[in-house]
């Protein structure tokens, strides 16, 4: 490793961080990085650049609601994939074409290029495996009781905390959140059969709406959607609080999942929308309203 | 609370996604809008960035930086990658805007995180040309060639200003200065 190589490597690291590298530079960096393994995961320059970027940034607007909805959908897929293959959780993240993250690739290369065993070594392993099988067979056939013995090892039984019912969660919010309010839900068209209440905590940013006798909806044709009217938002674009369906007449409690931070809630409304809900409601069919 | 979001995501806690969007949605959107020419591009970039954030959440080290800076770093990586692939130029009103001396940043009390405040201070202490190159590249998103053309500087000088300026900011932020860098500086 010469001083020139060192200098070049440092320059490439800085270039990558500030400007990005072209294909030729990436190939050059790929060759040089082998000589500087300690630098492969150094992100300090990138953090410094990020801080410079933040120092001139003014966050003027929130993430648009429709984009937020898309990201939630992406998150669903992402976390489902993780659940399906939990090994991914511990997998070193791979950020393509970034010098600072090439450790993963290097690790993979090491695994792939490990020296191959000779046939004689494999023969030795084969003999060893055969001996193990023979030993196991002997042990099994010479034991008086062939029933496999249960090996009892001390284990810690971890009882998961009991999952609260939605009624209990509503009650808990009402009693524990310092700013929780409970407001009656009314039907704007005075349809007496729909009654209920809303529990909302602005500090917790969550709430529960309880309805009685909200008509059953055909989920294939329409859905109910909750909306939070925020004083700081345009009245025409309230914040979505999630969608729900009613399968049977009776009392139901649904969580209010605000898709954006709620700053000054003024009211919560329930509208009828197309299946899946909408980003912006025409508010043609408002079936319940709670004024905070 | 903000400091635990990435750890929750790394552990597979799906409910942390909402907190992540609440905490960093506006920040990422603002960073992307600054560098993306239109809404479609911006929306694609934001979605890619959030996936990157979830994938890299386990690498976050709170002893090294705040979550905000880490998130901004992930966003920058993606934006640089997209700019490089599409060979696009960010929008700018005029050459005059481009060559103007960068402002001293917003009121420090209003800045997003402690590293941003410190970075603003560090930028003030840089040589004017280093500050200008860093501003045009990191804040405005210009390539080294564009900066060289606009400032009538050799390409190598632009890169050197960027590297030295950024190294100083890093040192000011206490993010370390490696032995290798010190050796090379001698």
State in Å, rounded, how far the first CA of chain A is from the last one. Answer: 70
Look over chain A and give the mean of its residue pLDDT values, rounded to a whole number: 73
Per the CB < 8 A criterion, the answer to whether B24 and B72 are in contact is no
Answer yes or no: is A147 within a domain. Answer: no
Q: What is the pLDDT of residue A145?
A: 47
Among A110, A128, A147, where does a domain finish? A110
Nearest Cα of chain B lies from the Cα of A248 at a distance, in angstroms, of 29
Give the pLDDT mean for A134-153: 50
B88 touches chain A (CB under 8 A): no
In angstroms, the Cα distances linking A192 to A189, A269, A291 are 9, 16, 17
Q: What is the pLDDT of residue A129?
A: 60
Answer yes or no: is A115 within a domain. Answer: no
Percent of chain A with pLDDT over 90: 5
Q: What is the pLDDT of residue B14?
A: 86
B5 touches chain A (CB under 8 A): no
Question: If you write DSSP's letter for every residue of A173-219 in order, what string do you get?
Answer: HHHH-TT-EEEEEB-TT--TT-EEEEEEETTTTEEEEEEESPPP--T
CB pairs A-B closer than 8 Å: 214
Give the pLDDT mean for A108-128: 43
Give the pLDDT mean for B156-170: 94
Highest mean pLDDT among A93-107, A188-202, B44-58: B44-58
Alpha-carbon distance of A100 to A152, in angstroms, equals 47
Q: What is the pLDDT of residue A84?
A: 61
Q: What is the pLDDT of residue B153?
A: 92
Classify each residue of A122-146 as buried b or exposed e, where b means 16 or more C-beta atoms within 10 Å of its C-beta: eeeeeeeeeeeeeeeeeeeeeeeee
Q: What is the pLDDT of residue B32?
A: 92
In angstroms, the Cα distances linking A272 to A105, A236, B30 are 51, 16, 33
Number of domains in chain A: 2
Answer yes or no: is A81 within a domain. Answer: yes
A171 with A284, same domain: the answer is yes
Answer yes or no: is A121 within a domain. Answer: no
Partner A, chain B 21-60, Cβ-Cβ below 8 Å: 21-22, 25-31, 34, 43, 46-47, 50-52, 54-56, 58-59
Of A47, A68, A76, the CB nearest to B73: A47
Q: What is the pLDDT of residue A154?
A: 47
Q: What is the pLDDT of residue A135?
A: 58
Give the pLDDT mean for A100-126: 39
Q: What is the pLDDT of residue A106?
A: 31
Q: What is the pLDDT of residue B163?
A: 95
Candidates 3.40.50.300, 3.40.50.150, 1.10.10.10, 1.20.210.10; CATH matching B93-186: 1.10.10.10
**Across A89-103, B106-120, B161-175, least confident range:** A89-103
Alpha-carbon distance of A267 to A186, in angstroms, equals 11
Backbone angles phi, psi at B36, to 5 degrees: -110, 140
**Across A150-154, A173-177, A241-245, least confident range:** A150-154
- pLDDT of B149 above 80: yes
Nearest CA in chain B to A258: B18
Nearest CA in chain A to B34: A57
Q: What is the pLDDT of residue A85?
A: 52
pLDDT, tens digit, for every residue of A46-79? Answer: 999 999 999 888 887 889 988 999 898 888 888 8
Alpha-carbon distance of A95 to B74, in angstroms, equals 9
The CATH number linked to A280 is 2.60.40
Domain B1-88 has CATH 1.10.3980.10: no
Answer yes or no: is A134 within a domain. Answer: no
Q: Could you list the residue range(s) of the whole structural domain that residue A242 is in?
A: 166-291
Highest mean pLDDT among A276-280, B2-6, B150-154: B150-154
A186 with A260, same domain: the answer is yes
pLDDT, tens digit, for every residue of B81-118? Answer: 887 766 555 544 444 455 555 554 444 445 567 788 88
User: In which element (H, E) is residue B184 found?
Assistant: helix B179-185
Q: What is the pLDDT of residue B174?
A: 87
Q: So where are chain B's domains?
A: 1-88, 93-186
Backbone angles phi, psi at B82, to 5 degrees: -70, -40
- pLDDT of B9 above 50: yes
Cross-chain residue pair A97–B118, CB shorter than 8 Å: no
- Identify the band that residue B80 occupies on the pLDDT scale cut at 50, 70 and 90: confident
Cross-chain residue pair B73–A49, CB shorter than 8 Å: yes
**Exposed / middle / buried, residue A21 (Cβ in 10 Å: 0-12, 13-18, 19+):** buried
Alpha-carbon distance of B34 to B41, in angstroms, equals 12
Comparing A116 with B136, the larger pLDDT belongs to B136
Alpha-carbon distance of A57 to B172, in angstroms, equals 19
B90 touches chain A (CB under 8 A): no
Q: What is the pLDDT of residue B129?
A: 93
Answer yes or no: is A130 within a domain. Answer: no
Q: What is the pLDDT of residue A3?
A: 80
Give the pLDDT mean for A105-132: 44
Nearest Cα of chain A lies from the Cα of B49 at a distance, in angstroms, of 10
Answer yes or no: is A207 within a domain. Answer: yes
Look over chain B and give the mean of its residue pLDDT values, rounded to a whole number: 81
Tell me which chain B residues have a C-beta less than 8 angstroms from the C-beta of A104. none
Give the pLDDT mean for A91-112: 34
């Amino acid at each position: 490793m010469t001083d020139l190589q060192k200098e070049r490597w440092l320059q490439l690291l800085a270039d990558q961080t500030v400007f990005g590298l072209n294909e030729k530079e990436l190939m050059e960096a790929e060759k040089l990085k082998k000589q500087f393994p300690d630098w492969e995961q150094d992100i300090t320059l990138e953090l410094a650049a990020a801080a410079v970027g933040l120092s001139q940034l003014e966050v003027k607007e929130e993430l648009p609601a429709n984009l937020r909805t898309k990201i939630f959908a992406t998150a669903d897929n992402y976390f489902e994939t993780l659940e399906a293959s939990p090994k991914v959780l511990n997998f070193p993240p791979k950020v393509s074409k970034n010098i600072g993250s090439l450790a993963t690739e290097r690790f993979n290369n090491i695994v792939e290029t490990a020296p191959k065993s000779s046939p004689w070594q494999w023969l030795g392993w084969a003999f060893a495996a055969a001996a193990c099988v023979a030993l196991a067979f002997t042990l099994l056939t010479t034991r008086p009781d062939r029933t496999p013995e249960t090996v009892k090892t001390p284990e810690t039984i971890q009882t998961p905390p009991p999952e609260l019912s939605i009624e209990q969660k509503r009650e808990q919010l009402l009693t524990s959140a310092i700013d929780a309010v409970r407001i009656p839900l009314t039907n704007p068209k005075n349809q007496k059969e729909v009654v209920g209440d809303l529990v909302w905590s602005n500090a917790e940013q969550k709430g529960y709406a309880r309805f009685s006798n909200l008509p059953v909806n055909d989920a294939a044709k329409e859905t109910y959607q909750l909306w939070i009217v925020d004083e700081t938002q345009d009245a025409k674009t309230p914040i979505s609080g999630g969608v729900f369906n009613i399968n049977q007449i009776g009392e139901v409690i649904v969580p209010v999942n605000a898709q954006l931070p709620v700053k000054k809630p003024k009211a919560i409304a329930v509208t009828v929308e197309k299946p899946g809900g909408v980003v912006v409601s025409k508010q043609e069919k408002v079936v319940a309203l709670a004024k905070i | 609370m903000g400091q635990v979001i990435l750890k929750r995501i790394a552990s597979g806690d799906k409910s942390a996604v909402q907190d992540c969007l609440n905490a960093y949605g506006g920040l990422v959107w603002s960073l992307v809008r600054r560098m993306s020419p239109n809404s479609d591009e911006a929306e694609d970039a934001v979605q890619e960035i959030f996936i990157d954030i979830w994938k890299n959440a386990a690498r976050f080290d709170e002893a090294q930086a705040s979550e905000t800076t880490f998130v901004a770093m992930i966003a920058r990586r993606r934006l640089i990658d997209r700019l490089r692939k599409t060979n696009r130029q960010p929008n700018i009103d005029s050459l005059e805007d481009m060559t103007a001396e960068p402002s001293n940043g917003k009121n420090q009390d209003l800045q997003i995180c402690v590293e941003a405040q410190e970075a603003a201070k560090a930028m003030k202490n840089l040589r004017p040309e280093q500050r200008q190159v860093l501003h045009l590249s990191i804040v405005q998103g210009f390539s080294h060639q564009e900066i060289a053309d606009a400032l009538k500087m050799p390409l190598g000088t632009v890169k050197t200003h960027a590297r030295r300026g950024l190294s100083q900011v890093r040192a000011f932020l206490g993010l370390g200065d490696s032995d290798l860098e010190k050796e090379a500086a001698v």
